[in-house]
Every structure is written in structure tokens, then in C-alpha cells.
């Protein structure tokens, strides 16, 4: 893993909080764009639900350079009431998911989950990647929910919103505990990650693959190390993700590659190269998703473009809007994942041809649901 030099974590104290040495959030509002070492967002705008708005301005009198000040990560314990989330969206390939963490330290500037921090009255910018929430009771909650009468076994997706193998998983190990419960009860699940840390848990996952209970998807956004360092600063390097695909496949586990997000005029030209390299490493299937910019993301991503690729910024946004019907974002089912118009059609055609050329399936892995053994239920008799 790269770019974790300023991450300072401690296990939670009895009050349920853990803080870094220099862990503090940026003031809310329209910040002066600045690149923080190891961070993706270049600002920390107000969340969309905030009642008050504050603006920062540079009057030239600042004697502290925030670019020289590393932002540490803070982690708060979240006591969730439920852990399995459900959805019925027709363009999402799973019905159930679990997110062990809120926020993600990978810092991917394009992440569609960033606006979810607004529900916590936190910014989708730097707050999303520095002020994280962990759910240490996740495994116990999962066991309890699997034992509910009438529970219907369907594959559970780990990593639907934020990466289950982001850097703090090394200390918290919540994802490993969840996999242990799923393995104990032979429940099918999928993992989507851009981290090499998934290799740590191959001892648990490989035996389940032999039973048809698990599949892993590795996200590879680009093969350009410099671009990856700016787009997703704390995720594994592109070459390391390809090596993860190779090791997962060698362990006998079905593995696919996710080319996401496709950012027009920035990484879309790499589609064939990414699929070819992933197939050579052992990937069995492939998928792609067009860049999505819901809620606060258009401003965040525009700021990132202006700082990192200013000469291409207008072209990237213009091409994206052309694929989104003239808007920054299209939330409609189906088109939100693929876009519309001539460029979207060309992208889909390239994807189909690349899959055929490199022997990749365009559908997901079929997992077994008939082997599920529910946990024993509480046998306490009702009072009335």
C-alpha cells in the first residue's frame, strides 16, 4: 500500500473514539484548493444538509502552508443496529451488501460514496477520507441477522459503498471477522476491492471458492502509476492490483476485473489494455462503470481536474456531459452506469469486443445458495 506515511491510528478507547496526533478536519466551506500528501480531495466543502455555510479566502497573511501539514486519520466506533443493507435497483448486481466502514481512506476523488458523509454532517471532501467510522460489532450483528426466521439466502456483497480492505482494516480486522461468520454458515458472498490486503484472507476464502460460495472483483482504474497516485492516493498501485488478481486466481478463487470508473478523455483509452493485462493475470470476467458525479461530486471533481490536469479539465467535463445528456450526472437506472449517446455506444462496443478478444465473461459469477446453514436461533420462550 502506498501513501500511508501520515496515518496515525489507535484502537478505540472505552468512550468509543480514537484520534490521530494531528487529526482535525478542515473547516467547512469552499476551501482554497490545495494538494495534501496522500489525500485525494483538494477541498473540504460543506455537506449538502448543513444549515450554516462558511467560506474561506486567502488574504495573503497565512504563515502556515497546509500543503506541508499532513492530515491524520481519525476513526470513530459506530454502534450499528443492523449490518445487512438491501437494495432492489435493477442495475445493481446484488440484493444484499455489508459495509464494515463509513468513509474510505483510499481517498479516490471520484468515489460516488463521498456524499454519504453528508448524513453525518461531515464533508464529502477531506472529511470522507480522514474521518472514518468502524463497526466492530459487525460480525455479531451478521450472525444475529442470519438467524432471523424467514431469512432468504442471497449473495452478500462486501464493499458496495466503501472498500472493505481499506488501510484501517489491517488494525480493525472487521472484514476478516465477517468472512469468518459467512464461512461458518456457508453463506455466499462477493468482495470488491482495490487493495492487495485481500490476500491476507485467502486462507479463509479459498476453501469457500471450492464450494462455489465466493468471487472476488479487483478494481483497476488505470495502469498509469502517476495518474493512480493522484486519483486514488492510498489504494494499491496498478501493478500490485494485477499481482493480486494473479495470486487470487492461483488460489483457485474466481476473480474478475472492474474497470471503474471510466473517465472520458482521461482513462477511457486504457480499457483494452486493462482488460488484456487482467485476463493475462487470471481474471475470468470483466465489467465497467462510467464516472458518476452525484450531489457534491461535480464540484469536488472539477476542483481536482483544475489542480491536477488543468489543460484537460474542460474536455473531460464536456465529454462526460455529452454522455450524461448535457448534465453532470444522470441518476436514472441503467443509464447511470453506462451513459448515453454516441461516445457511450462506442465505449460499450469496445468493451464487448475486448471481452471477446481476451476471453472474458461479461456476466458475474453464479454462487451457490443451497448450502447455507443458519445460526441457531434464540430458544427463549415468549412471556405471553
Q: What is the pLDDT of residues 266-275, one digit of tens each?
A: 999 999 999 9
According to DSSP H, which parts of 282-323 are helical? 297-308, 313-323
pLDDT of residue 114: 93
Task: Tell the burial category of 253 from Cβ atoms under 10 Å away from its Cβ (0-12, 13-18, 19+).
Answer: buried
- d(CA 107, CA 103) in angstroms, rounded, equals 9
pLDDT of residue 382: 54
Query: Quick one: which H or E segment has residue 290?
Result: strand 285-290
Supply the DSSP string of 150-163, one letter for each residue.
T-----EEE-SSS-
Instruction: Residue 165: name the closest of 71, 225, 101 by CA.
Output: 101
Instruction: Residue 138: name the closest of 101, 186, 190 by CA.
Output: 101
- d(CA 71, CA 105) in angstroms, rounded, equals 11
The fraction of the chain above a pLDDT of 70, given in percent, is: 80
Indicate the DSSP class of residue 27: P
Q: What is the pLDDT of residues 315-353, one digit of tens each?
A: 999 999 999 999 999 888 888 889 999 999 999 999 999
Over residues 248-257, the mean pLDDT reads 98
- Domain range summary for the chain, segments of one domain joined by +: 17-48+69-358
Give the residue with greater pLDDT, 23 vs 180.
180
Residues 6+ apart with CB under 8 A from 228: 221, 222, 235, 237, 238
Q: What is the pLDDT of residues 353-370, one digit of tens each?
A: 999 999 999 987 889 999
Report the CATH number of the 17-48+69-358 domain: 3.20.20.70
Helices 238-250 and 271-281 pack at an angle, to 10 degrees, of 30
Indicate the DSSP class of residue 282: T
Residues 6+ apart with CB under 8 A from 187: 146, 153, 156, 181, 213, 372
- d(CA 47, CA 125) in angstroms, rounded, equals 9
Q: What is the mean pLDDT of the chain?
A: 86
Indicate the DSSP class of residue 114: G
Total-model pTM: 0.83
pLDDT of residue 374: 95
Indicate the DSSP class of residue 346: H
pLDDT of residue 333: 87
C-alpha cell at 196: 492487495
Contact (Cβ atoms closer than 8 angstroms) between residue 108 and residue 75:
no
Amino acid at each position: 500500500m502506498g501513501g500511508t506515511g501520515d496515518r496515525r491510528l489507535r484502537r478505540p478507547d472505552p468512550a468509543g473514539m480514537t484520534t490521530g496526533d494531528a487529526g482535525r478536519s478542515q473547516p467547512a466551506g469552499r476551501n482554497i484548493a490545495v494538494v495534501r500528501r496522500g489525500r485525494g480531495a483538494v477541498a473540504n466543502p460543506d455537506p449538502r444538509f448543513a444549515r450554516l455555510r462558511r467560506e474561506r479566502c486567502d488574504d495573503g497573511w497565512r504563515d502556515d502552508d497546509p500543503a506541508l501539514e499532513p492530515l491524520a486519520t481519525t476513526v470513530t466506533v459506530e454502534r450499528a443496529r443492523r449490518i445487512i443493507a438491501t437494495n432492489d435497483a435493477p442495475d445493481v448486481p446484488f440484493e444484499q451488501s455489508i459495509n464494515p466502514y463509513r468513509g474510505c481512506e483510499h481517498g479516490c476523488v471520484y468515489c460516488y460514496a463521498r456524499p454519504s458523509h453528508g448524513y453525518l454532517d461531515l464533508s464529502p471532501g477531506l472529511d470522507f477520507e480522514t474521518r472514518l467510522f468502524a463497526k466492530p460489532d459487525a460480525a455479531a450483528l451478521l450472525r444475529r441477522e442470519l438467524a432471523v426466521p424467514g431469512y432468504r439466502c442471497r449473495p452478500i456483497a462486501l464493499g458496495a459503498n466503501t472498500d472493505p480492505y481499506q488501510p484501517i482494516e489491517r488494525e480493525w480486522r472487521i472484514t476478516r471477522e465477517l468472512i469468518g461468520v459467512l464461512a461458518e454458515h456457508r453463506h455466499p458472498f462477493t468482495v470488491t476491492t482495490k487493495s492487495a490486503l485481500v490476500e491476507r484472507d485467502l486462507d479463509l476464502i479459498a476453501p469457500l471458492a471450492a464450494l462455489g460460495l465466493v468471487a472476488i472483483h479487483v478494481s483497476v482504474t488505470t495502469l498509469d502509476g502517476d495518474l493512480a497516485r493522484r486519483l486514488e492516493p492510498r489504494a494499491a498501485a496498478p501493478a500490485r492490483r494485477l499481482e493480486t488478481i494473479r495470486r487470487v486466481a492461483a488460489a483457485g478463487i474466481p476473480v474478475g476485473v472492474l474497470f471503474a470508473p471510466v473517465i472520458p478523455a482521461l482513462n477511457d483509452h486504457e480499457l483494452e489494455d486493462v482488460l488484456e493485462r487482467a485476463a493475462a493475470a487470471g481474471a475470468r470476467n470483466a465489467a465497467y462503470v462510467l464516472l458518476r458525479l452525484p450531489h457534491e461530486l461535480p464540484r469536488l471533481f472539477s476542483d481536482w481536474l483544475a489542480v491536477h490536469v488543468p489543460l484537460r479539465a474542460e474536455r473531460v467535463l464536456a465529454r462526460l456531459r455529452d454522455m450524461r445528456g448535457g448534465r453532470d450526472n444522470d441518476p436514472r437506472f441503467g443509464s447511470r452506469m453506462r451513459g448515453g449517446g454516441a461516445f457511450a455506444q462506442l465505449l460499450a462496443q469496445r468493451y464487448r469486443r475486448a471481452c471477446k478478444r481476451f476471453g472474458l465473461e461479461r456476466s458475474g459469477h453464479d454462487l451457490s445458495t443451497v448450502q447455507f446453514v443458519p445460526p441457531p436461533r434464540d430458544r427463549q420462550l415468549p412471556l405471553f
